[in-house]
A and B are shown apart, each in its own frame.
Chain A
């Protein structure tokens, strides 16, 4: 079968010790048997490793930070599109999703396809809305509530016992053992991601995760559960293993079925000793460990592209249990000219 030629733009090329999902997403796409893909990298920072990985990313363009707003972003995409003729964009940062979701109609007019959650889906799964989300869909979640000021910290003991979790709107989560630590994390997170800060009950148990893809009609196109085996000091998985856990899959199908989730997603769950599952977070995009799912038999990035292009996609029925991923890091050698070119022209 002749492979279909397409151009896919991907962000999240920061394959660092706190990796973005871009590179693993691209590796999945590159293994597609149906597509012959040209990859356009979209980078925010000039040292994102993916920019310089020329056998993975064909060409990279810098794009403005999400905080600049949608207009500069669209202008930049228009320019890139005029050169590259992009078929699909896969944004991989939480913080940029809002801008891309907001622009999806404009992008569609430009014949650029995306496959993103709806604004409603995106908003209702926000960490600050998790209790309401749990109530609405009948899912167990830890108790949490947003706080807006330092002055609320001392009143927390009415609702919480220490330790508790202090979380940012988009990223960052810390365990705090006393009000002083809450204050410290509050300021640290607020200065970076703004308000509110979410205070969450600390549930004892094992963290497990599910990567999944919803087709927007309530069907689960793919889902793979995983347990992190080694966690870095940044709380990121450095190794993980696929699990055989029907409860986790059941929960995934239940949420996707009810929310009619559109696009990639990740569930962060805590499994207690009595095997109860607490949903602690829904990430509205493909997680960085997606390549494990590809390796276990579910090429979710490829399936996402097909959904974006409006193609028929058959749900994955199975995956290999007991597959491991182990991250590794490697130094590459980069010429100064490459850094100069990117820094001066914003493309490489």
Chain B
């Protein structure tokens, strides 16, 4: 899944969608994941990054990642 090209993710976790005019806020880990996605990274890379950095098991990460992806999709921030 790819984040739309014109969407910028700031270091502070602020996201602006110039197509719709909507703004979003991310928590720090959300901002990290979205930045990795902007760099074109896919699930395996992202998973490795998160599991290396944070104290979390694979299942918990996977559940929360899927939920996060659903929200991003629901907000139409991805390229179809």
- Give residues in A with beta carbon < 8 Å to B: 336, 339-340, 343-345
**CA–CA, A339 to B10, complex, Å?**
13
Majority SS at the chain A contact face: helix
Majority SS at the chain B contact face: strand
**CA–CA, A340 to B17, complex, Å?**
12
Closest B residue, CB atoms, query A339: B23
How many whole Å from B6's CB to the nearest CB in chain A?
13
Nearest 7 A/B pairs, CB to CB: A344-B12, A340-B14, A344-B14, A336-B16, A343-B25, A344-B13, A343-B14
CB contact list, B1-49 vs A, under 8 A = 10, 12-14, 16, 23, 25
Closest A residue, CB atoms, query B18: A336
**CA–CA, A12 to B4, complex, Å?**
38
How many whole Å from B16's CB to the nearest CB in chain A?
6
Q: Is the CB of B12 within 8 A of A345?
A: yes
Q: A340-B14, A343-B23, A344-B12 are in contact. List 13 more A-B contacts (CB 8 A).
A: A336-B16, A339-B23, A340-B10, A340-B12, A340-B16, A340-B23, A343-B14, A343-B25, A344-B10, A344-B13, A344-B14, A344-B25, A345-B12
Number of A-B residue pairs at CB separation under 8 A: 16
**CA–CA, A84 to B5, complex, Å?**
41
Specify which chain B residues have a CB less than 8 angstroms from the CB of A344 in the assembled complex.
10, 12-14, 25
How many whole Å from B55's CB to the nearest CB in chain A?
26
**CA–CA, A343 to B12, complex, Å?**
10
**CA–CA, A343 to B24, complex, Å?**
9
**CA–CA, A336 to B14, complex, Å?**
11
**CA–CA, A345 to B25, complex, Å?**
11
How many whole Å from A93's CB to the nearest CB in chain B?
25
Tell me which of B12, B13, B14 has the highest count of chain A C-beta atoms within 10 A of its own C-beta: B14
**CA–CA, A345 to B16, complex, Å?**
16
Specify which chain B residues have a CB less than 8 angstroms from the CB of A340 in the assembled complex.
10, 12, 14, 16, 23
**CA–CA, A340 to B25, complex, Å?**
9
Tell me which of A339, A344, A345 has the highest count of chain B C-beta atoms within 10 A of its own C-beta: A344
**CA–CA, A13 to B10, complex, Å?**
28
Closest A residue, CB atoms, query B12: A344
Specify which chain A residues have a CB less than 8 angstroms from the CB of B25 in the assembled complex.
343-344
**CA–CA, A343 to B16, complex, Å?**
12
**CA–CA, A345 to B10, complex, Å?**
13
**CA–CA, A344 to B16, complex, Å?**
12
How many whole Å from A191's CB to the nearest CB in chain B?
26
**CA–CA, A344 to B14, complex, Å?**
7
**CA–CA, A344 to B9, complex, Å?**
12
Closest B residue, CB atoms, query A340: B14
Specify which chain B residues have a CB less than 8 angstroms from the CB of A345 in the assembled complex.
12
How many whole Å from A267's CB to the nearest CB in chain B?
42
How many whole Å from A346's CB to the nearest CB in chain B?
11
Closest A residue, CB atoms, query B21: A336
Can you list 16 A-B pairs, Cβ within 8 angstroms, ordered by A?
A336-B16, A339-B23, A340-B10, A340-B12, A340-B14, A340-B16, A340-B23, A343-B14, A343-B23, A343-B25, A344-B10, A344-B12, A344-B13, A344-B14, A344-B25, A345-B12
Specify which chain A residues have a CB less than 8 angstroms from the CB of B14 in the assembled complex.
340, 343-344
Specify which chain B residues have a CB less than 8 angstroms from the CB of A336 in the assembled complex.
16
How many whole Å from A341's CB to the nearest CB in chain B?
8
Closest A residue, CB atoms, query B26: A344
Closest A residue, CB atoms, query B10: A340
**CA–CA, A348 to B51, complex, Å?**
36
Specify which chain A residues have a CB less than 8 angstroms from the CB of B10 in the assembled complex.
340, 344
